[in-house]
Each structure stands twice: as structure tokens, then as C-alpha cells.
Structure 1
């Protein structure tokens, strides 16, 4: 079996990525994880820091979004699976865009969000192959699709 590439998109203010990575490592899954730049300030300022200052916020954001898109689009295109997390604190339009882009490419998509976002994300959820509420559920989905193991059974078989 070959190693899988999993792209972790979405909110950057909680430890959900680390929980998925640790769970996959604990499960012995051969996964390479990638993600957008999660340093919020660097992501916002990359365009003007590299290409020069702008007088208007629109052009600052425009430059930054294009530079970030080089990374995001490339890593989504290379991914075997895309996981998109929608968090509580901020509206993540970039995450919605990433989910749509992954769906348009035909990438297997796992969406991760709290139950109270179900109505707002119904179209995104409809494009996903799985909708999870916790990072641990994402790990179990990855364990199943990569190793064919169900929760509890993998642990019981190992004992």
C-alpha cells in the first residue's frame, strides 16, 4: 500500500490538525499531511511583503490571495483526500472555496464542522463523501479507507 496525501484545509485557530495528525500516527497510517499557511499574519501579508505595498486594502488582499492560491491549489490537486474544517469563531469563506475546488476536481472530500453549522453548510456537506463532527471521526474515516479497519475491531485484532 502506498502513502496517502491528505490536505487539511480550514480554520486555523484550534488544534484540529494536530489531533488528526497525532491520531493517524497512533493508528500507524502512512499519510503525508499538508495545509495552507496557518500563520494568519503571514498569510494576510505575503503579497505586500514580497511584491510591494499597496495603498488600498483590496489590492493588498488580492496579492496575498493569489500567492496563497499557488500553495492551496497545488496541494489540493496533489491530495488523495481533502479535509475541510469549518470552525465556530470566524466565517471561513476560504474553506468553502477550497471545498468547492476539491469537489470540482473530483477529490474525495471530508467536511468537519459542529452540528450547529449543518444548515448553513448543507450544499458543502452534499458535495462531501463524509461529514464529521470531530477530528477523531476523521481519523477513523482515514483508518477505514486506508487500512479497511473499523473502530474497535483494529484494536481488538491487535490484542
Structure 2
């Protein structure tokens, strides 16, 4: 049994790499949004042409990015959503809601200080992890039945 895992959320830390590295040897395929911030912001206008207003610039990018996001979440067995501390990740909350609405298994990765703000998101998840290593342990347990240590 293999797993398709979509890694959604903040793009400013190495959490994705830590999960991917930790899951070496497991039958897991990872997908994610484009994590190059400039490319993600500008993909719409780079592909479809410039916009005079920032609203339409951002909207074009959001719509193009949504193609990848919808595909990744739809194909996933498990969606991991990371909420970091530096920026508000409204898109991550939207992805978590989409995953929950599609009945996907959901793991939220967040610091303790976000517990109250994310209580409804957390209630939709099968697990709330604090570290990428806990996410790896969850994936290992699901695939092999083995506990850490």
C-alpha cells in the first residue's frame, strides 16, 4: 500500500524537505504547490499577459495555481497542511477546508500557539502534529504499523 501525500502551506521554512527526507524508504509520493514565491505570484501574468491592477494580477495567479492545487488535493490520500508563525496562511486554511470537504485524510502541522485560532480546522483533521518528524512517524505508522523508537 502506497500513499500520495500533498504538502500544503507555508513556504518559508524547510518543513517539506524534512518530511520528504524522513520518509525515505517509505512508499510515499509527495506533491506540493509551487514553492517559488515569485513564480507562484507571477505565473498568471507571465503566462497570460500583464494586468494594470494588482487585484487582477493576483487573481490570474491564484486561478492558474488553483489548477495544480485542485489536482494535488484531489489525487492525495493524505493532505498535510502546515501553518507557520511568520505569515497568515489563508490559502493553507482554504486547502484544509477543500481537503476536508473532499473527505481526504488530513494532518495539520502547527505550533501550539495556533491551537485556538485553528480549532475548527484541527477538528476536521485526523491528527495535529507539532513537528515534521511527527508527520513522518504518522506516515510510517500508517504504512507499516510500526511506532517510533
TM-score range, shorter chain: over 0.9
2:138 maps to 1:132: no
SS at match of 2:23: helix
The equivalent residue for 1:84 is 81
Specify the structure having the higher radius of gyration (Cα): 1
Q: Let me know the Cα RMSD of the aligned residues.
A: 0.6
TM-score normalized with structure 1 length: 0.92
TM-score normalized with structure 2 length: 0.98
Q: Structure 1 runs of 4+ off > 6 angstroms?
A: none
**Residues matched between the structures, number:** 149
How far the C-alpha of 1:4 sits from its partner, in A, is 1.2
CA deviation map 1:4-36 (0-9, x unaligned): 1100000000000000001110xx211010000
How far the C-alpha of 1:146 sits from its partner, in A, is 1.1
The equivalent residue for 1:60 is 57
The equivalent residue for 1:149 is 146
The equivalent residue for 1:74 is 71
CA deviation map 1:75-101 (0-9, x unaligned): 100001000000011000000000000
1:117 to 93, 97, 114: 114
